Amino acid sequence: MLRGKHILVGVTGGIAAYKVCYLVRELRKAGADVKVVMTEAATRFVSPLTFSALSGHDVASDLWTHQQSTSSDIGTQHIDLAYWADLFVIAPASANTIAKLTYGLSDNLLTIVALASRCPLVLAPTMDADMYINPVTQANVAKLRERGCFIVPAEEGEHASGLRGPGRLPETEAIIRFIVGVLDKSTQDLRGKKLLITAGPTYERIDPVRFVGNRSSGKMGFALATAAALRGAAVTLITGPAHLETPRNVTRVDVESAAQMHKAVGIHAKEADAIIMAAAVADYRPRAPARSKIKKGRDTESLMLALQKTPDILQSLGQKKARGQILVGFALETEHALRNAREKLRRKNLDLIVLNSLADKGAGFAADTNLVTIIDRKGNAEKLPLMSKFDVANEVLNRLGKLL
């Protein structure tokens, strides 16, 4: 898996930097071509000379010295490194660098390359336990994970300070295993394909301040977008109100209602090689939304809300499906699940339908995991074990890739 791969190793300032010498050596032994970029603080812990001897390449750390050496590559070193890498692993990733990456700060070569890179980004957060468990660090790490960065779980144990707790850099073998897993999930099998993915709930206006909505978090659709982008697809993500970070290398279109989603899908559908409707689109909307806030009437004990059907976006896509275009739908059924899902696949002219059941523990709206059955046009149903939504996304994409 590592043979011939271009692995860029980013080293930030921390005692654990010495362990990354072994990481560079082992990556090379496994056949990877390794380059190292360091922050200024990292060079206080381990000399660039060490990394240059271990990697067999010059070590980049200073943004300016290299730029002055020749005139032809002025201003392009960061882009060259970013494009060179098949994978960028930052280990140890300090609290400072994690915070910079979260907000897009780029005041040194390492963070500039991270910002410019499109390859998988792997971070090994490593710091003293108190810094690690600080809510600020945890929130930053969570944001980066939502955007599709891969986070190597830190180890617990004793730190150089004598403190005990999480935040230690895992052993070299564990990091290499993690890197191999990421490379495995980012094969470029969808390169050149255009994917349109919908996610999240829709909000249907009752009046200017109230709406009819549902509990969809958008996590499944966002996981699909993250996974597809990693596999090289050009992804457009049309999402209802979801409080999630936009995945890396994904074009996001925000909408609110079923009608807005219908319109946005209509604009992007024609050029899509595949469309995955993971959004929980409202089936009904208030027939006559009030122009101003509905007041509480003194004598009004009950209020009737007349609802009207929304257009079935997926069904209309199925009716005018272009040749070769692949359509994937989701279904959430509480009774006769398989039979209903198969019927839905036929009625909406889909190629695949992903069935998830609310009854199963760990499946459904806000969870990070999902338990699904994938059904194809022939009616074959494959029940997958409980797995993360990211892994479910890859299972769906594996099947979709075969149909494209």
Tokens of 309: 């059907």
120 or 240, CB closer to ligand C5P? 240
**Shortest spacing between CB 394 and ligand C5P, in angstroms:** 19
Cβ-based burial of 64 (10 A; exposed 0-12, middle 13-18, buried ≥19): exposed
The site for ligand C5P (CB under 6 A) is made up of 258, 277, 279, 281, 283, 310, 312-314, 329-331, 344
Closest approach of ligand C5P to the CB of residue 324, in Å: 20
Report in angstroms how near the CB of residue 335 gets to ligand C5P at its nearest.
12
Nearer residue to ligand C5P within complex by CB, 50 or 316: 316
10 or 318: CB nearest ligand C5P: 318
Closest CB to ligand C5P among residues 121, 341: 341
394 is known as an active-site residue: no
| Residues 63 and 87 sit within 8 Å (Cβ to Cβ) | no
Q: How far apart are CA 90 and CA 141, in angstroms?
A: 13
Q: Which is nearer to ligand C5P, 169 or 332 (CB)?
A: 332
Angle between the 95-103 and 109-116 helix axes, to the nearest 10 degrees?
40
Shortest Cβ 278–ligand C5P spacing (Å) = 6
User: Smallest distance from the beta carbon of 199 to ligand C5P, in angstroms?
Assistant: 9
Treating both helix axes as pointing N-terminal to C-terminal, what angle do 389-403 and 219-230 enclose, rounded to 10 degrees? 60
Q: Which of 214, 340, 356, 380 is catalytic?
A: 214
CB 252 within 8 A of CB 199: no
Give Dmax over CA atoms of the chain in angstroms: 83
* Cα–Cα dist 185/187, whole Å: 6
Gap between the Cα atoms of 184 and 390, Å rounded: 13
| Dihedral of the alpha carbons of 82, 88, 91, 96, in degrees to the nearest 10 | 50
Catalytic residues: 214
